Chains A and B, each alone.
Chain A
Amino acid sequence: MGKITGSQAVVKCLQEEGVKIIFGYPGGAVIDLYDALFDADIVNVLVRHEQGAVHAADGLARVTGEVGVALLTSGPGATNGVTGIATAYMDSIPLVVLTGQVPRPLIGNDAFQEVDIVGITRPCTKHNYLVGKIEDLVPTIREAFHIARTGRPGPVLVDLPKDLLASQLTFPDKPVINMLSYQPTYKPHPVQIEKACKKIIKAKKPVLYVGGGVILSNASKELTELAIKLNIPVTMTLMGLGAFPGTHELSMGMLGMHGTYTANMAVAECDLLIAVGARFDDRVTGKLAEFASNAEIIHIDIDPTSISKNVKVDIPIVADCKNALAAINEWFKTKADISLEEEAGRHQSWFNLIREWTAKHPLSYKENNDIIKPQYVIETLHKLTGGKAIITTEVGQNQMWAAQFYQFDHPRHFVTSGGLGTMGFGLPAAIGAQMAFPDKTVIDIAGDGSIQMNIQELATAKQYKCPVKIAILNNSYLGMVRQWQELFYDKRYSSTTMDVTPDFVDLARAYGAVGLRATTKNEVEPVIKEALATDNLVIMDFKIEREEGVYPMVPAGKGNTEMLLV
């Protein structure tokens, strides 16, 4: 086979991995790579800021389960991508981020647009590389994809010096990748499975606590089977929403700081907590000493570092969630001397208690016939999309209301920055999701603050004909911080008032999008209907109750049962 350039080899690697869409921004260090892409059957979505490229690749990865790819130039191109990389890292999203680097002889010389991006991203990537030799180029990119998508997924960065991209090489055949120092554990240990199953049989008040790992490992089917067959109530983390149908009677909704009363009470009271693909994050646990303090804990996770990191676990199961849940289901089918019909009737008094909690304090808000309540907007979005839309969010109140009131029935339909909490995530992520599924309804639920953090991506959406629907819950505040200031800082609204915001309807028009506004409750439904019927990018500007809060709320540092309620 003849020689090709480094750039052509990179493109061939992307094709080999089945990549059809990448997100990026050109520059001096990657100009050769963009030249090679010009003739390839890969779409490069030209974003307007590199942070948008990484978030969009992340959005695509979250809705498809495939590896998202971003291509950035050296220096500022690479540093602009860092927030996106850290966002993906915290939520375990598989990405390969390719960055250009100055030519090898200049590395370390403070050359134009040089930055040590491998050094900068070391703590926020699963792994990263600076390719130093042309013969390492193809094996490194293959390894990057392998690492990104296997085990606990995550972003992998590959830094590509400009002169290397212009060098010649013979494209090597693809070997089976087997890394001496990287061998994730996929299969659960049968002894641990048996121990866990015996605990589950004995439990009188069990709870399934489900995180993003179930979605990442495509284990919703196995989880749903376990919960329904054994009649175990389910609570989900922000990242786990959609792993189990939110409208099912066994779903208690989200737990934690803005979780439901039922979910938080159930976790506090349960005698067995079955954690699946969750990591006992501080926003979930509240005060650690009071989290599930009456329970024995089973923890299924592919990452051993997640186990017993924050809360001591009784039965650890290191495995892929899908395999572990399948093994548990199999054990109950073949080894348990119980009848599943009888099981379905178990935990009756536990369910009575759970129903009492829900009856006493359901997820609710004070309705108003005139002023728009943000929760009403989300409920109406749910109603008019049949709960089938892909919802992305920004970060803050908009994100929590979306999590609480759009009852997700399907995995990979809720796209949100959970771990890092990145404002400006929702719009580019929605573009990524829409590029992956052009025919699905994709809605970015936003605040008037966070939408402005990556608003330049409206042009990207328009250019690539992404008919994303943006629902701005506009209160002219940085609402979540304002809520904390209201509750804990004597209403001293320091730097949370957005005195000047653009007219979002005019702004939409300026970008060639459709702008709609609702200022009263009865305008909400017509606006959403019109937006959903429009085959164009739409901004819906909902002027909502300015000082509406997100409730329930567990104040920072308190136990989860000490909730502030509506």
Chain B
Amino acid sequence: MAIMAESELTLPRNKQMKHTISVLLQNKPGVLSRVTGLFSGRGFNIESLCVAETLDPGVSSLTVVSSGDNSIIEQITKQLHKLIDVIKVTDITDKEYVEREMVLIRMKAEAHTRAEVLRVIDIFRGKVVDVSAKSYAVEITGSASKIQAVIDILRPIGIKEIVRTGIIAMSRANKSK
């Protein structure tokens, strides 16, 4: 399951900064609404949110991207941790981490643009996953900034539809050990 949402309530705050927060939680009914309810109820922003099962089917991992000044982010991590079903909360923003997002884009692909679409997709190591007479659906994976770059380049050619997964993230292994 993956959800992407824009919070309706974005308060003007000083020193807004994006943070990627990784959360381990019990895989129980209603647990996701506890998390999203916390964000909406306290006026915190959700830029994206992804959640799925881990190797242990009783535990889910959730990656949420939010923004705010340091005190807001501190409250977000503390409030998340306070939820009874939450096992671990890590703000990985200032750590070494790998982030990935996947996007599915349906492109206008008519005679004069087909080749160009394929070229761009190739450059970004994407692939075509669905073809029709007038469109290609393509899949591209990468960091959020790479996804944004692809979209910026493809937009003038003609994007018909776009679906993004939101970011998932993982801390890098400790290299000294």
Question: Real complex partners, A and B?
Answer: yes
The answer to whether B33 and A181 touch across the interface, beta carbons within 8 angstroms, is no
If A147-B84, A180-B87, A181-B84 touch, whether A304 touches B29 (CB-CB below 8 Å) is no
Which one of A123-131, A170-178, A274-282, A340-348 is at the interface?
A: A123-131
In the assembled complex, the CB of B28 is this many whole angstroms from the nearest CB of chain A, namely 9
The answer to whether A181 and B25 touch across the interface, beta carbons within 8 angstroms, is yes
The answer to whether A304 and B41 touch across the interface, beta carbons within 8 angstroms, is no
How many angstroms between the C-alpha atoms of A119 and B81 in the bound complex? 20
Flag whether B169 is at the interface (Cβ < 8 A): no
If A305-B78, A308-B71 touch, whether A122 touches B85 (CB-CB below 8 Å) is no
Return chain A residues, CB-CB under 8 Å to B113: none
Flag whether B43 is at the interface (Cβ < 8 A): no
Return chain B residues, CB-CB under 8 Å to A179: 84
Within 75-91 of B, Cβ neighbours of A (below 8 Å) are at: 75, 78-79, 81-82, 84-87
The answer to whether B78 and A304 touch across the interface, beta carbons within 8 angstroms, is yes
Flag whether B57 is at the interface (Cβ < 8 A): no
How many angstroms between the C-alpha atoms of A181 and B30 in the bound complex? 16
In the assembled complex, the CB of B90 is this many whole angstroms from the nearest CB of chain A, namely 14
Number of A-B contacts (CB under 8 A): 37
- Render A268-306 as a binary contact track against B, CB cut-off 8 A, 1 for contact: 000000000000000000000000000000000001110
How many angstroms between the C-alpha atoms of A61 and B93 in the bound complex? 43
Return chain A residues, CB-CB under 8 Å to B71: 308, 312
Within 84-110 of B, Cβ neighbours of A (below 8 Å) are at: 84-87
The interface centre, meaning the residue of A126, A180, A303 with most chain B CB atoms within 10 A of its CB, is A180
The interface centre, meaning the residue of B25, B41, B75, B78 with most chain A CB atoms within 10 A of its CB, is B78
In the assembled complex, the CB of B86 is this many whole angstroms from the nearest CB of chain A, namely 6
In the assembled complex, the CB of A405 is this many whole angstroms from the nearest CB of chain B, namely 36
Flag whether B37 is at the interface (Cβ < 8 A): yes
Flag whether B69 is at the interface (Cβ < 8 A): no
Return chain A residues, CB-CB under 8 Å to B79: 305
The answer to whether B74 and A122 touch across the interface, beta carbons within 8 angstroms, is no
How many angstroms between the C-alpha atoms of A312 and B71 in the bound complex? 9
In the assembled complex, the CB of B23 is this many whole angstroms from the nearest CB of chain A, namely 11
In the assembled complex, the CB of A92 is this many whole angstroms from the nearest CB of chain B, namely 12
The answer to whether B29 and A130 touch across the interface, beta carbons within 8 angstroms, is yes
Flag whether A132 is at the interface (Cβ < 8 A): yes
How many angstroms between the C-alpha atoms of A119 and B31 in the bound complex? 11
How many angstroms between the C-alpha atoms of A305 and B25 in the bound complex? 18
The answer to whether A122 and B86 touch across the interface, beta carbons within 8 angstroms, is no
The interface centre, meaning the residue of A126, A130, A304 with most chain B CB atoms within 10 A of its CB, is A304
How many angstroms between the C-alpha atoms of A174 and B175 in the bound complex? 45
- Render B15-41 as a binary contact track against A, CB cut-off 8 A, 1 for contact: 000000000011001100110010001
How many angstroms between the C-alpha atoms of A524 and B29 in the bound complex? 57
The answer to whether A181 and B86 touch across the interface, beta carbons within 8 angstroms, is yes
Flag whether A118 is at the interface (Cβ < 8 A): yes
Return chain A residues, CB-CB under 8 Å to B26: 180-181
CB-nearest residue of chain B to A303: B82
The answer to whether B78 and A122 touch across the interface, beta carbons within 8 angstroms, is no
How many angstroms between the C-alpha atoms of A420 and B34 in the bound complex? 21
Return chain B residues, CB-CB under 8 Å to A132: 29
Q: How large is the interface on B (under 10, 10 to 19, 20 to 34, 35 or more residues)?
A: 10 to 19
Q: How many residues of A are counted as interface, with CB atoms below 8 angstroms from the partner's CB atoms? A: 19
A305 in complex: contacting residue of B29, B75, B84, B85, CB < 8 Å: B75
The answer to whether B87 and A122 touch across the interface, beta carbons within 8 angstroms, is no
Flag whether A309 is at the interface (Cβ < 8 A): yes
Flag whether A182 is at the interface (Cβ < 8 A): yes
- Render A308-328 as a binary contact track against B, CB cut-off 8 A, 1 for contact: 110010000000000000000
Return chain B residues, CB-CB under 8 Å to A181: 25-26, 84-87
If A305-B79, A308-B71, A308-B74 touch, whether A123 touches B84 (CB-CB below 8 Å) is no
How many angstroms between the C-alpha atoms of A180 and B27 in the bound complex? 13
CB-nearest residue of chain B to A312: B71
Return chain B residues, CB-CB under 8 Å to A122: 30, 33-34, 37
CB-nearest residue of chain B to A304: B78
How many angstroms between the C-alpha atoms of A515 and B85 in the bound complex? 51
- Render B128-161 as a binary contact track against A, CB cut-off 8 A, 1 for contact: 0000000000000000000000000000000000
In the assembled complex, the CB of B129 is this many whole angstroms from the nearest CB of chain A, namely 35
In the assembled complex, the CB of B24 is this many whole angstroms from the nearest CB of chain A, namely 8
How many angstroms between the C-alpha atoms of A130 and B82 in the bound complex? 20
- Render A100-140 as a binary contact track against B, CB cut-off 8 A, 1 for contact: 00000000000000000011001100110010100000000
Return chain B residues, CB-CB under 8 Å to A303: 82
How many angstroms between the C-alpha atoms of A147 and B82 in the bound complex? 12
Return chain B residues, CB-CB under 8 Å to A308: 71, 74
How many angstroms between the C-alpha atoms of A122 and B85 in the bound complex? 13
How many angstroms between the C-alpha atoms of A122 and B26 in the bound complex? 16
Within 152-205 of A, Cβ neighbours of B (below 8 Å) are at: 179-182
Instruction: List 11 additional contacts besides A181-B26, A305-B75; criterion CB under 8 Å.
Output: A122-B33, A122-B34, A130-B29, A147-B84, A180-B87, A181-B25, A182-B84, A303-B82, A304-B81, A305-B79, A309-B75
A-B contact pairs, 14 of them (CB 8 A): A119-B30, A122-B33, A122-B34, A123-B41, A180-B87, A181-B25, A181-B26, A181-B84, A303-B82, A304-B81, A305-B75, A305-B78, A308-B74, A309-B75
> Interface on A for B, CB 8 Å cutoff?
118-119, 122-123, 126-127, 130, 132, 147, 179-182, 303-305, 308-309, 312
The 6 closest A-B pairs by CB, nearest first: A127-B84, A181-B87, A305-B78, A304-B78, A123-B41, A182-B84
